[in-house]
Structure 1
Amino acid sequence: MELKLNFDFATTQRIIRKIGYIDSFKGRWAGLELSESKLLKELKQIATIASIGSSTRIEGATLSNEEVKELLKSVSIGSLKDRDEQEVYGYYEVLELILDSYPEIDIRVNHIHHLHNLLLKASTKDEYHRGGFKQLSNKVVANYPDGEQKIIFNTTEPHLVVNEMEAIVGWTNQELEKDEIHPLIVISAFVYEFLSIHPYQDGNGRLSRLLTTLLLLKNGYDFMMYASMETEIEKRKKQYYNVLMECQRKRGSGEEKIGVWVEFFLNTLQESIEILESRYDEIKNKKSYLTDRQQQIIRFIEDQEPVKVSDIHSAFMDTTIYTIRKEVEYLKKENIIQQVGKGKATIYYKKK
């Protein structure tokens, strides 16, 4: 594996810059997570829908994000009408498991089997092979919106899959523990190898993206709960397949290099961060994450400032003084209103 990661000088410099940007954002995000609970809830919902929609469309599904959102409002296995809905349901199940339980999900072959089984559990067509390595040869095929299919490359033969999967899983865990190679490079290498092996009969692309999220979360990139790499890959679907094909040309020859893939992976992650930052600012500025009462309190303060808590309570007599104090504290913590003075003399202004 180390030979594949032997990058030329220019590639190394570009990778270092990308990693610097991503890790800098990782540090900034850690502070935001502590104080933006309601805003983060909305960001997470948006990212979850976007990730499910994009990842299933990459593989040929046709449901829009809005259709995915509607489906998941009251979904059950028995209500799924077609393969597109089955794929959406499976992706949702695995993504929710990862977001809720990633600290407990180690990167082991049996855990990957379990995720694959869950991913395909709603698909009757895949019942015979879900949760087990492939028994027949397969290829990486690009599915395009016009129905065209293009073979990108051949994959590992079935009889070699067990050894190759155990090798890449072992290498990944070892390198992440040693911490000598940056975790983003290790994770991108794991994803490349997983796609190259294509260990399952079907579902490999979707599972590779879920494993990407799992590995990033396990290695401290908590913002992945609110970002969607899947959406950025969907936007660059042609480049995604071209990069894989380029790296694959010398697979098994000893001259295989994956610098182009690592750059693509990091570029995609950086783009997803930039979208997250933009979305964060947009939601924060719109205050759409606030409750109706919180927005009403803000408008009252803006119209009547300066105001005391007792003034606010007088305008919202159906709400207890205790609740008003809690709302005011929350709005202060969110940097929306400003406190001046202490004790009974405390007054509040809307922050400019």
Structure 2
Amino acid sequence: FTVEYNYNSNHLEGNTLTYGQTELLLLFGKVSGEGHLKDFNDMKASEVSVKMMKEEAANNKDPLTQNFIRTLHHTLLREDYTEYRTLPNGVQSSFVIHAGQYKTRPNSVITRYGDRFEYASPEETPALMSDLVDWYNEEERKGELSPVELAALFHYRYIRIHPFEDGNGRIARLMMNYILSRHGWPMIVVRSRKKQEYLEALHQTDMVVGSIPSVGAHANIKQIGIFLKYFEKLVAKEIQTDIDFVTRKDEDLWWYDGEIITTRSKNTAHILRLMRESPSITYAELTSSLGINTSAIQKLVKRMVENGYIARHESGAWRVIATSVV
């Protein structure tokens, strides 16, 4: 979960680190290949934020507070920083992103349909966040909504407020997992490769709820039916993936980023197994073991590198990123 969640949640927001770089950084504390320093630091801060979220969720006796959300945001962003942008007229503009503080300037997004969608204003944000937290604690106490419904509705309401100047999507996904984990449900990953499904579910729900931010921030479970349906499918898929990973035992079965690797040739699984057993294996040795020509081996390996299943160290040794269940 650690690698998959952090890779996908940050990749959704434009982080350039590969799955392999993320794994190497978070599991082994090492840096490999090219990448922006900010992307590496953001990924490490994301992992600290996940740990903080899980610890807070485990303490399910205390109510949710705004202070926790702001502290989580400060941990995620690490510190204040200046954002530079070029306006349509060519003029350079800059503004400070504040870690752990609610926004001081309006924010909005241009949808993929070309229209501007406004979030809550800075003036109304503190009151809307107070309403959100109070609503969550009361709904949790009443127990009328399932944990999945609570997580989906909190995520949607939070996104309509967009209380911070940056990092809102990442905080929304941390908080939905906070709610699921707090109630004993498995945490989930919104896959970056399925970003459009995620955004479209939110957009279609916005069309039902309406464009007024304060209305979106107080949406009810019936109004967000489209997003809830998407979210329920996401949770079901993650649970099924967890079950499959535990129950399906086959030496030719490999996983990558939450899905079974499907290929037309069993040689892919054989190469992965041989590289895992002998990281310094050569093309000649692979050819000898598999009984196919070197050119075919090189094409398979090239495709596996492009897909992110394997990576090669500067020393020449192979690192297998895909996971085997046996």
User: CA offsets per residue over residues 123-171 of structure 1, 9 Å max, x none?
Assistant: 74487511010011112467xxxxx996672211110101111111111
Aligned equivalents of 1:151, 1:62: Cα separation in 2: 27
Of 50-59 and 116-125, the range deviating more from structure 2: 116-125
2:57 pairs with 1:102: yes
* Structure 1: gaps (5+ residues): 1-46, 143-147, 289-352
Contact 1:152 1:241 in 2 (8 A): no
- What is aligned with 1:55? 9
- What is aligned with 2:244? 278
Contact 2:49 2:75 in 1 (8 A): yes
- What is aligned with 1:114? 71
- What is aligned with 2:100? 131
- Please tell me the residue identity of whatever aligns with 1:196: R
TM-fit CA distance, 1:86: 2.1
TM-fit CA distance, 1:181: 2.3
Contact 2:120 2:160 in 1 (8 A): yes
Aligned equivalents of 1:213, 1:102: Cα separation in 2: 9
Counting only pairs closer than 5 Å after superposition, residues 189-268 of structure 1 correspond to structure 2 as: 189-221=153-185, 223-224=186-187, 228-231=188-191, 234-249=192-207, 250-252=210-212, 257-268=223-234
- What is aligned with 2:144? 180
Give the TM-score taking structure 2 as reference length: 0.62
Of 253-262 and 178-187, the range deviating more from structure 2: 253-262
- Please tell me the residue identity of whatever aligns with 2:190: E
2:117 is paired with a residue whose SS is strand
Rate the CA distance shift 1:275–1:140 in 2: closer, same or farther, 3 A: farther
Rate the CA distance shift 1:100–1:175 in 2: closer, same or farther, 3 A: closer
Q: Between the two structures, name the one with larger relative contact order (CA 8 Å, sep ≥ 6).
A: 1
Aligned equivalents of 1:158, 1:219: Cα separation in 2: 32
Aligned equivalents of 1:280, 1:177: Cα separation in 2: 34
Runs of 4+ in 1 over 6 A off after TM superposition: 148-152, 253-256
Aligned equivalents of 1:175, 1:113: Cα separation in 2: 21
Rate the CA distance shift 1:251–1:133 in 2: closer, same or farther, 3 A: same
Which structure dedicates a bigger proportion of its chain to strand?
2
Q: Aligned to 1:68, which of 15, 18, 22? A: 22
- Please tell me the residue identity of whatever aligns with 1:247: T
TM-fit CA distance, 1:235: 3.2
TM-fit CA distance, 1:101: 4.2
Aligned equivalents of 1:235, 1:152: Cα separation in 2: 24
RMSD value, Cα: 2.9
Give the TM-score taking structure 1 as reference length: 0.58
Aligned equivalents of 1:210, 1:152: Cα separation in 2: 26
- Please tell me the residue identity of whatever aligns with 2:178: L
Contact 1:89 1:122 in 2 (8 A): no
User: CA offsets per residue over residues 93-143 of structure 1, 9 Å max, x none?
Assistant: 11122234422374211110000000010674487511010011112467x
Aligned equivalents of 2:215, 2:136: Cα separation in 1: 20
Rate the CA distance shift 1:274–1:141 in 2: closer, same or farther, 3 A: farther
Rate the CA distance shift 1:175–1:229 in 2: closer, same or farther, 3 A: same
Contact 1:133 1:199 in 2 (8 A): yes
1:159 is paired with a residue whose SS is coil
- What is aligned with 1:293? none
Which structure dedicates a bigger proportion of its chain to helix?
1
Rate the CA distance shift 1:149–1:254 in 2: closer, same or farther, 3 A: closer
TM-fit CA distance, 1:254: 6.7
Aligned equivalents of 2:59, 2:167: Cα separation in 1: 23
Aligned equivalents of 2:30, 2:100: Cα separation in 1: 23
Rate the CA distance shift 1:285–1:273 in 2: closer, same or farther, 3 A: same
Q: Number of paired residues?
A: 226
TM-fit CA distance, 1:178: 0.6
Aligned equivalents of 1:262, 1:272: Cα separation in 2: 15
TM-fit CA distance, 1:216: 0.5
Aligned equivalents of 2:79, 2:247: Cα separation in 1: 37
- Please tell me the residue identity of whatever aligns with 1:244: L
Aligned equivalents of 1:131, 1:96: Cα separation in 2: 17
Aligned equivalents of 1:108, 1:191: Cα separation in 2: 15
